[in-house]
Every structure is written in structure tokens, then in C-alpha cells.
Amino acid sequence: MRTYYDNSMKAKMPSRDFLKIPASKLLFLVLIISIAFLSDCNDTNADYEAPNIIVSTDIGGSDPDDYQSLVHLFLYADRFNLLGLISSPPDAGRKEHIEESIAAYAVDFEKLKEHSVLFPTPEYLLSITKQGATDSLKTEVPTELSDGASWIIDKAKENAGQPLYILVWGSITDVAQAVHHAPSIKSNIRVYSIGSWNTVQDPKSRDYLFNNHSDLWWIENNTTFRGMYMGGDTTNSMGNLTFVESHLKGHGALGEFFWEKKKDIKMGDTPSVLYFLNGDIDNPEGESWGGSFIKTDHGPHYWTDNPADSLIEINRAGAKTVNKFRQAYLRDWAARMGWLKE
């Protein structure tokens, strides 16, 4: 269970009459105030339990949007129990590119910590950063076991009584390896994968999971994620270019890092994070910032894009279930980016 502290909880300064109180009574009063203050802090967001997540990313490859999504994730790192950051295929992205992003986070860490003590230290993030597979699956069944896949297995077993969410921003190679070598972890892992181009880069890993593990809890987002940068209300500096110009450029090391990598919003992997920031994470069919999905007859815990005509944006099924919330999730993020400009 996690609690949060913000500046609104600061006690107001007492009047000068406070100085006239005898020392014995003063000590008693301080004790009472302290107990009341701590009780108030512990009641704040008392019902919120940070979800356990591992991110599998092809950051550093041919598309810079994973850098963008990692910046966004770091601004919300206090909302998660981050258990792993894994460099996965395709292309030339490696662990060092995750570490490059953590270096920017380290510069802003003290400012972030002023708003929540739950932001993880840069040292901790480095400790959970692992190298996954460096190539896509070439056979019908996984045979190798990368360090990243081993890490997934270890963390799933360590947290066997709780769901472990794996957000897949690249090829699903490491998840396929982990599930093949330790199928028992399916009892508590939950996968939210961004498909489309990522699936094309390693279709064998995706097909292995789909054809052999129909009981896997899995949101396969193939087109819904496009709502992150297609459509929605872009007024008031909420456009793909204007938002970055207004709310990222010049906003701390992370904002500048984002700006240097790409000067407009794409962030196709970010709906997997938004899913946890608004909505019921146990109900993929409900509304959330990260999209709404439908069950198919594939398995008891499998969801994918909703093909309803009313939810299509530029031929992308389900995209409107994300872009309908554009103003809300971008304004929320802008407020956090503002912390880095204070």
C-alpha cells in the first residue's frame, strides 16, 4: 500500500502566542500535532495500491518514440512499483539507451522528490535495467533465455500473490521466452502489448504465445494506441507539436531530453501506461485513458481493439477510446512537467 505526501499537507505556522506555552505542555502539543499529521498522511490515497510493472522496450532502435514514452513513465514513476526495465528487440536498441534516459531522470530527481517521496532513486532504476534478447525468434518455439526473460521469471515468482503487469513496447520476444521456460508464471502475469509494427518485427514470438498460451492474460493493442497522436481535441496547446513546445521544451532535463529526441508527440507505447492512471485496471472493457478493448473467443483473458465504426480514427480501430481523453491525460502530464520548471 502506498501513500502520498504533497505540499498541501504542510502544517500552518503557529502564532506568536505559541512561544508562551510551558515547555512540558509544548512537548505534549508537538507530540499530538505529529500524530495527527502522520495520521492524515497515512489516510491520503490509502486505497491506492501501486501496480507492479515491468517495461519491455525497443528504445534506441529505429523509432525515437520509446524515449518519449520512457520520459512520460518517469514523470509518473511514483504511481507504480517498477520492477524491471528491459531492452528488447528489434533493431539496435540496447540497455545503454535505457540508462541514457535514467541519466536525465537523475538530474530532475530532487525536484520530483519534492512532490512525492515515492519516486524511485536513479540508482534503483539502474539496478532493475536488464538486457533482453537482441534478436527476434527464428524458430517456432523459444529456446534461448535472455537476462531480461530470466528477470521476468524471477519477479513473477517473487510476487506470486500479486499481478505483475508487463508493458511491451517492442517485440514480445522476452515475454515469449519467459512464458515458455516458466509457464507457471502465467498465473500472475498480465501483458499489455503494443502490436502492429512491433508484431511484424517478431511474428514468431507473438504467434507462439497466441497459439500455445490462450490462457494468458493479455491486452493486444494493435491499433487503439494510434489515438495517442491521431485525433482528439488538440486546442489550447494540446497538439502534437504545440504540447511539446509549451510543456516539454525547457522543462528540466527530462523535458529537454524528450525535445532532443523528437519534437512532436508520437508516444505510441504510452497508452499502456495511461491504462493505469485512469480507469479500472481489472476491466479492459471499461473506459480508461489507455483505451477500451473487447474480448474475443480466443481465450478467457484476451482482449484486443474494438472494431466498432464509431471508435475508428483514420481507419484505426479503437483509437477514439484513447483520443477522447486527450485533453485530460495531456493536462495531467503538463501539470507534472511544470514541477520541473519550478
209 close to 172: Cβ distance less than 8 angstroms? yes
Question: Could you tell me if residue 276 is inside a domain?
Answer: yes
26 domain-assigned: no
Residue with cell 511514483: 78
Can you state the angle between helices 65-75 and 252-261, rounded to 10 degrees?
160
Indicate the pLDDT class of residue 49, thresholds 50, 70 and 90: confident
Extended beta strands in the chain, E state: 52-57, 81-87, 129-131, 164-168, 189-194, 217-221, 293-295, 302-305
pLDDT at 23: 53
Q: Find all residues with CB under 8 Å of 336, minimum gap 6, and list them.
A: 75, 76, 115
H or E stretch including 146? Answer: none
**Is the separation of the CB atoms in 147 and 139 below 8 Å?**
no
Q: Spell out the residues 6+ positions from residue 231 whose beta carbon is closer than 8 angstroms to its own.
A: 313, 314, 319, 320, 323, 326
Range of the domain at 125: 52-339
pLDDT of residue 199: 87
Burial pattern 296-316, b for ≥16 Cβ within 10 A else e, equals eeeeebbbbbbeeeebbbeeb
| Pairing of β 81-87 and β 129-131 | parallel
Residue 24 domain-assigned?
no
Instruction: Tell me whether residue 181 is exposed, middle or buried, using C-beta atoms within 10 angstroms of its C-beta: 0 to 12, 13 to 18, 19 or more.
Output: middle
Does residue 1 lie within any of the structural domains?
A: no
Q: Would you put residue 45 in left (φ > 0), alpha (ψ -120 to 50) or beta?
A: left
* For residue 29, pLDDT beyond 60: no
Three-state SS for 131? Answer: strand
Whether 187 shows a pLDDT value over 50: the answer reads yes
- 102 lies in some domain: yes
Residue 3 has pLDDT above 80, yes or no: no
Neighbours of 18 (CB within 10 A): 10
Domain count, the chain: 1
Helix, strand, coil distribution of the chain in percent, nearest 5 = 45, 10, 40
Which grid coordinates belong to 54? 515491468
Q: pLDDT at residue 274 above 90?
A: yes
Predicted confidence at residue 2, as pLDDT, reads: 37
Confidence band for 20, pLDDT divided at 50, 70 and 90:
low
- The verdict on residue 187 lying in a domain is yes
Supply φ then ψ for residue 153, to 5 degrees: -60, -45
Pairing of strands 302-305, 293-295: antiparallel
pLDDT band at 327; cut points 50, 70, 90: very high
Q: Which three cell numbers stand for residue 65?
A: 518514440
**Under DSSP, is residue 313 helix (H, G, I), strand (E, B) or coil?**
strand
* Residue 190 placed within a domain: yes
Residue 4 belongs to a domain: no
Q: Which CATH number goes with the domain that contains 292?
A: 3.90.245.10
Residue 81 in 3-state DSSP?
strand
Give residue 10's pLDDT band: very low, low, confident or very high (50, 70, 90).
very low
> What's the half-sphere exposure (Cβ side, CA atoms, 13 Å) at 32?
6
